[in-house]
Amino acid sequence: MAAEPVWSVDPRTGKPREQVAVEATAEDVDRSVRAAHAVRETLADRSVRAAFLRTAADLLDGAREQIVETADAETALGPVRLTGELARTTAQLRAFADVVEEGSFLDIRIDLPDPGAIPPRPDMRRWKIPLGVVAVYAASNFPLAFSVPGGDTASALAAGCPVVIKAHPDHPATSELCASLLRRAAAEAGLPEDVVVLVHGFDAGVELVRHPLVAAAGFTGSVRGGRALFDAAAARPVPIPFHGELGSLNPVVLTSAAIEERAEEIGAGLAGSMTLGAGQFCTKPGFVLAPSGEAGDRFLDALALGVSETGPAVLLDRRMRDAFVAGVTERTALDGVRAPVAPGAGDAHTVSAGVLAVDAALLAEGDRHHLLLEECFGPVTVVARYDSRDEITQVLSRLPGNLTATLHVATEGEEDADAAPLLAELTPLAGRVLVNGWPTGVAVAPAQHHGGPYPATTSTSTSVGATAIERWLRPFTYQSTPDHLLPPELRDGNPLGLPRR
């Protein structure tokens, strides 16, 4: 049977642009994984890894015009957004090069022998070593920062792990272009090109997570797809870590004092955040608890005005457009749901942003409106109007895990009495809580945590920031090992000058 072609499709028209590859067979996946596995030791030198990451960043920056043009043709995200995303992607690669050189990610701990301790303590030297080949599943909504040259790839390579990347079908030409630049960077840094390998196809993604030489996987995508791969990773004869980012509602709570103080400002800010990138950010605020009453009405009016002023949006592909239209139609049909701005279909290729409103009491009393507490990917948010503090608690108790939660409190006059208790209630629901801000925009920084309780992620790790490297490492201890047999990082005298405890 001939391999299935992989087409690049223009989401603005739905028409194929070009065939860019063919789907990988099981044999192709096996060859790819074995090729990556065979060169894993070449990544052992940290200075070479750092040079590779910086070279990759330079080559991507050098091909900026071609990358942005190709990605825009496949995603309709626009040159401004994609130029910024590319800058984020290359900055991320350079940041991990710095992490590799600095060395604290190795978490070196040395206990010198103490025969007088109870029990006696031998010489023990602990650090972290790479797991092996990492499977990376590219995301649809970030064709650069969370795809082929994105954070999972950068952090895995920084850890010393070769990667086999499953391209996303929404941007195969962008994936091929970026993979070719990463492979070229490897060669220029003196590494085999097969430290980065790209495969296409749904079946290839399944084969990849099941391959016995794959040691871990990173995924960004839907709950359904991520959970299927997570279950496959756990069902292997030798289970592997699966770090999946699956979905997030990203709730927002507005205190009465905050709305009294700046209703219009908060409404306008929310409109900008929830429609950014056509609502296709994983941190889009999709659910809001806002007070009833006159001030709450002013907030809702400002939100509705901001959303109504956004034009029709092209989503990443036809499947996502159809799912959005079906999702908002089903939600709008629920009893008690109002549509201050009706979301739905635009023309044959676009959608219209919208706002749905409902009384919080309906969400607190049962499961009839459970859909409103689930993510709807695209430019829509649900505003639940509460009458009492107890209703906030009742609704929050029904929410799943999230990447983010946002709290808006009063900033002037006396301290907002609801601020501290609501912050405490939101903490168990998310990996990151923002106060008086908006969650769309994930800084690449050492203190960043982009993860959260399930179904936001399948692990406690982050996929953004310096500590994302920890996903691809495991602790290892040498005990009573002669100094000349130890790796230089652990030898007496600290010859490499690394941070050590």
- Angstrom distance (rounded) from CA 269 to CA 30: 49
Helix (H, G, I), strand (E, B) or coil at 257: helix
Bridge-partner residues for 217, per DSSP? Answer: 135, 242
Cβ contacts of 202-206, under 8 Å, gap ≥ 24: 202/23, 202/169, 203/23, 203/24, 203/25, 203/26, 204/23, 204/24, 204/25, 204/28, 204/29, 204/166, 205/137, 205/166, 205/229, 206/232
- Angstrom distance (rounded) from CA 255 to CA 167: 43
Judge whether 133 and 33 are in contact, CB under 8 Å. yes
Per-residue DSSP letter, 467: G
Strands 15-22 and 163-166: unpaired
Query: What would the two tokens of residue 32 be?
Result: 């790819």
**Helices 79-102 and 151-159, packing angle to 10 deg:** 20
- Angstrom distance (rounded) from CA 243 to CA 238: 16
Contacts of 238 (CB under 8 A, 6+ apart): 212
The one catalytic residue among 74, 176, 245, 375 = 245
245 catalytic residue (yes or no): yes
The one catalytic residue among 85, 161, 261, 282 = 282
Q: Residue 418's CB: how many other CB atoms inside 10 A?
A: 20
Helix (H, G, I), strand (E, B) or coil at 130: strand
**Which active-site residues does the annotation give?**
245, 282
